[in-house]
Structure 1
Amino acid sequence: MGYDLEGIEQLEKSEIKNIYDENTSTPVFIDVREPSEYVEGHIPGVPLLPMNQVPEVIDELKKDKEYVLICRSGNRSQHTALYFKDNGIENVKNFAGGMLAWDEEVTTGMENPVEDDISKLYNE
């Protein structure tokens, strides 16, 4: 089961898989790794918003949405989740094990970069 770290709910792989399999628009999954990591393998359909680009778009993110952040091991996504909270986005969770713990299907290549179109996060 998930646990709390520094005020951020940590989700285990089984919880991420269950949420992902429900295939709803909430929560919004975001991969915060670098593009080079993302193209090597990511959870299918999960958009890329590299951690270093988050400050540029944080004010455009919908504060009433729920977010689950993903990185390689759970460290960068944890720091990004704390940044979300510092900027008024309260409903944010972290994939504790990150892609190292994900042993399900992955997609390679550049599939869904957010870049300048933040609406991609919300399937708009």
Structure 2
Amino acid sequence: MSVATVSVEEAAAWLQAGEAVLIDVREPDEYAAARIEGAILAPLSQMPAAWDALDLPADKKIVVQCLKGGRSHQVCAFVGPTAADGQPVFNLTGGIQAWHAAGLPVIFAES
């Protein structure tokens, strides 16, 4: 199944405009170390229960993110092109690594 993708720049614009929600499918320790502001944690290791537990707004795009894009691709393939309420689902190309490389803000744990 093909998975829709979105660039970090376009995803950032959607998030800033309030048009999308961001789902982080990395593990809790990875999320704690570095995350994109507003990302909702739903670890791949806890799927599909973690996805089913999400309260996703029906009127927003869903962007799925991991470190580089592999795990989020798996989740997008599992969920399909649209979520339960018909929201379009996108894999964030390059994950949080590409987001950070593009100069977009990342929240790091205080060491």
TM-score of the superposition, structure 1-length normalised? 0.69
* Percent identity of paired positions between Structure 1 and Structure 2: 30
Aligned to 2:71: 76
Give how far 1:54 is off: 2.5
Aligned to 2:105: 105
For 2:82 and 2:51, the matched residues in 1 are separated by 7
8 A Cα contact 2:82 2:89, kept in partner: no
One-letter identity of the residue aligned with 1:80: V
Evaluate the alpha carbon distance shift between residue 47 and residue 106 of structure 1 in structure 2; reply closer, same or farther with a 3 A threshold: same
Give how far 1:108 is off: 2.9
Instruction: Pick from 11, 16, 20 the counterpart of residue 11 of structure 2.
Output: 16
Give how far 1:20 is off: 2.0
For 1:78 and 1:55, the matched residues in 2 are separated by 14
Give how far 1:66 is off: 3.0
Give how far 1:75 is off: 0.7
Give how far 1:36 is off: 1.3
For 1:15 and 1:87, the matched residues in 2 are separated by 18
One-letter identity of the residue aligned with 2:108: T
Could you tell which deviates more after superposition, 62-71 or 26-35? 62-71
Give how far 1:17 is off: 1.7
Q: How many residue pairs align between the two structures?
A: 102
Measured on the aligned residues, the alpha-carbon RMSD in Å equals 2.4
Evaluate the alpha carbon distance shift between residue 21 and residue 88 of structure 1 in structure 2; reply closer, same or farther with a 3 A threshold: closer
Structure 1: state its 5+ residue gaps.
Answer: 1-5, 110-124
Give the 5 Å matches for 1:1-124: 6-22=1-17, 24=18, 26-61=19-54, 64=58, 66-85=61-80, 89=84, 91-103=88-100, 104-109=104-109
Give how far 1:10 is off: 0.9
